[in-house]
Amino acid sequence: MQRVSLPLRTMAGRENNFWHKLHSITGIIPIGYYLIQHLALNSFTIAGEDKFNGVIAFFEGLPFHVLLVLQIFVLLIPILFHSIYGLFITSRAEMNYSGKYRWSENLMFNWQRWTGIILFIGIIVHVATTSINSKINGVEVIQYAAWQEKLTSYFYLPLVLYMIFVAAACYHLSYGIWNFCIRWGITVSDKAQAGIKKFSAGTFVLLVLMGWGALFGFLIHKPKGAAPEVAPPAVSASYAPESR
């Protein structure tokens, strides 16, 4: 049988299709799953300091080799691949204003590119100030009291930045669900794509509410180690100035 060589463009197209699908599925599993459980566990802040610190203690109490495997193979490698290949896609992307993709889909796609860039920067900063910082300075830097102090510093600027970061992550995952279903042939018809689009929009709203709720949970309880508020001394009537 004679071997038929494929054109270079066809081979590149197949390769891109493979990497695009791998990029798409890593955004859902494990990264998307991790984001949802991360926001859910962080929402324990609403229940108070002890509940949130209990989550931190659970993960810190895992055997070192188990935690290391999770961090490398479930988080680090998938996130690095998804981020780097995502930036590659962003650099080569072109807007398509023809046919049915004239406005809304292009707007969604454009936001997906911008949120990807925000997440690439935000994840680096977040990991450096949480996981890496806790390895250097101890677990206390990621517990409830430290987070409350951090979010309320600089006139609540870190809180605002984290709200943007959380919203970007929630949108990126929600749009990713819509894109994943199309790329993997799950939603083929226009009706199915419209349905998953509504599902993605609802997912975005729910995740943002959960993420922002977790952030504001750091503000509604006073840490146990905080100094009690001291009321100003009352002015004795005997020392009150005489009315003239």
User: Which domain does 134 fall in, by range?
Assistant: 15-94+110-222
Question: Could you tell me if residue 241 is inside a domain?
Answer: no
pLDDT of 76 reads 95
Q: Distance of alpha carbon 24 from its chain centroid, rounded?
A: 16
Question: Could you tell me if residue 242 is inside a domain?
Answer: no
Question: Could you tell me if residue 6 is inside a domain?
Answer: no
Question: Could you tell me if residue 8 is inside a domain?
Answer: no
Q: What is the dihedral of CA 28, 33, 34, 38, to 10 degrees?
A: 130
Does 9 score more than 80 pLDDT?
A: no
- For the stretch 20-46, pLDDT in tens is 999 999 999 999 999 999 999 999 999
Does 154 score more than 50 pLDDT?
A: yes
Question: Could you tell me if residue 137 is inside a domain?
Answer: yes
Question: Could you tell me if residue 177 is inside a domain?
Answer: yes
- For the stretch 203-221, pLDDT in tens is 999 999 999 999 999 999 9
Q: What is the CATH number of the domain that holds 32?
A: 1.20.1300.10
pTM, full prediction: 0.84
Q: What is the dihedral of CA 150, 163, 156, 230, to 10 degrees?
A: -70
- For the stretch 183-204, pLDDT in tens is 899 999 989 999 999 999 999 9
Number of domains in the chain: 1
Question: Could you tell me if residue 218 is inside a domain?
Answer: yes
